[in-house]
Chains A and B, each alone.
Chain A
């Protein structure tokens, strides 16, 4: 099964990070991604620019409305994702738990819908 692992973290905390801590975090992500690729379970993964760069689009009555910022104000923001191929939910949970962001923020696991 494919699962999307959504990484939610406090942007405010991430931006306040000291350079050494930031470097350590990035090294953690590098190691995690290499291991995931080596296990054959990696499908895709990216980090996202902060929500200050986000634009939300709605189409209402044929008009496109673009507004600044994310859809909802939350304490933690979507900062990146991995798309993985996992055996089952327990496997996906084990992978998610190794994402460095799991130790400071939270990971939402969403099974990918299969259309047959």
Chain B
């Protein structure tokens, strides 16, 4: 077995193997260290002896032995009082080893769900949740997680160490949340997964490949959550939203990495399978009783874009209506901005501009390039060229990504003001 093939097995098995181990050992840190030891043992043994029939069972079994080794080592090094507690943990681990197979699909699913909840616990900072989820649940190594978030390996390793220390010292439990807290806790998980997705989606330059991976990874994890907690409108809505955005991934940038607007994208290149699945999921998410979930409504908007055969066929009236629904469910300045753009498409640029001017006056989106960018487009359509040029210049100054800056500079040049 090649090292690449072994690495692929590790990637695929980390989440569930770690989940099973944390469940057994009850200590996130120790479980992770032990699994790391087991990976090293596999790297030594598998190339010579071939891969075991059930790699996950092999890894979990090996990691249990490693955990016991580590506990014995600690017991020797620490004081007497610790010794007793560690002995108890040790024998518990040994008993667990003697226990009958824990490898039932149901038990593993429960462990996996608990691992997701511990990694996305609201007591952890959002960047710590993202790092832990990618490391522990998705099985990315620290180097890959660091590269995806454009931070040094050392910074990412520190972030992971701090997060695990908080889990241990603050007593964040390895249990599924009680029913009354489930919706809130699922919301924290979904926010984390969406953060991973948008991090991958926003990037159009640099480590583009790795970051496209983040979109795929977040979709994989959301799909997993949907399987573990079936029939939830919020989970299904987010999965639909991700799929419908991701379906357009190959058409969002031109050959030089330049931004291609939705209206100008080659719709024949959109991923039809992803769109079909996304549309099906939106339907299911919106059929759930009660208030529609904001993710599902955003997915419904993305669905309308995906269903239009060309830009002119876009159902802007329904999109503006859905943004109004979103403004009632979960109002944010960015939703207001998108609503204004949709209104401009149905009722004309002057109506849209009035909404954007009101938003600008409130100052809540100061520093957000898309606001002056959207204003500039409407001013241009109204023939207010000089004001449009000033707004494009403002957007250019605020834009953080190079292709964004090139886009605004290009639109400004097209106005022909020199």
Contacts and interface: CB of A to CB of B under 8 A. Distances in A.
Interface string A85-114: 011111011100000000000000101000
B170 interface: yes
Interface size class of B (residues with CB under 8 A): 10 to 19
A111 B82 contact: no
Contact of A88 (B79, B171, B181): B171
B173 A90 contact: yes
A106 to B, nearest CB: 14
A92 B171 CA distance: 9
Contacts of A88: 171-173, 175
Contacts of A111: 169-171
Contact of B170 (A87, A89, A94, A116): A89
Nearest to A97: B181
B177 interface: yes
A14 interface: no
A93 B81 contact: no
A90 B177 contact: yes
B79 A87 contact: no
A66 to B, nearest CB: 33
Contact of A89 (B79, B82, B173, B181): B173
DSSP majority for the A interface? mixed
Interface in B162-201: 169-173, 175, 177-178, 181
A1 interface: yes
Interface string A67-98: 00000000000000000001111101110000
Given A89-B123, A90-B177, A93-B123, A116 B171 contact: no
Interface size class of A (residues with CB under 8 A): 10 to 19
B124 to A, nearest CB: 10
Contacts of B170: 89, 109, 111
A10 to B, nearest CB: 24
B181 A90 contact: yes
Contacts of A1: 171
Contacts of A89: 121, 123, 170-173
Given A111-B169, A111-B170, A90 B79 contact: no
A1 B172 CA distance: 11
Nearest to B122: A93
Contacts of B123: 89, 93
Interface in A28-85: none
Nearest to A116: B81
A94 B82 CA distance: 30
Interface string A1-30: 101000000000000000000000000000
Given A90-B177, A93-B123, A116 B172 contact: no
Q: Which of B82, B170, B177, B178 has the most CB of A within 10 A?
A: B170
Interface in B148-171: 169-171
A71 B417 CA distance: 58
A3 B123 CA distance: 14
Contact of A87 (B81, B169, B173, B177): B173
B256 to A, nearest CB: 50
B114 to A, nearest CB: 12
28 contacts: A1-B171, A86-B171, A87-B173, A88-B171, A88-B172, A88-B173, A88-B175, A89-B121, A89-B123, A89-B170, A89-B171, A89-B172, A89-B173, A90-B172, A90-B173, A90-B175, A90-B177, A90-B178, A92-B171, A93-B123, A94-B181, A109-B170, A111-B169, A111-B170, A111-B171, A116-B79, A116-B81, A116-B82
Interface of A: 1, 3, 86-90, 92-94, 109, 111, 116
Interface of B: 79, 81-82, 121, 123, 169-173, 175, 177-178, 181
Which 4 pairs from chain A and chain B are nearest by CB? A88-B173, A88-B171, A89-B171, A116-B81
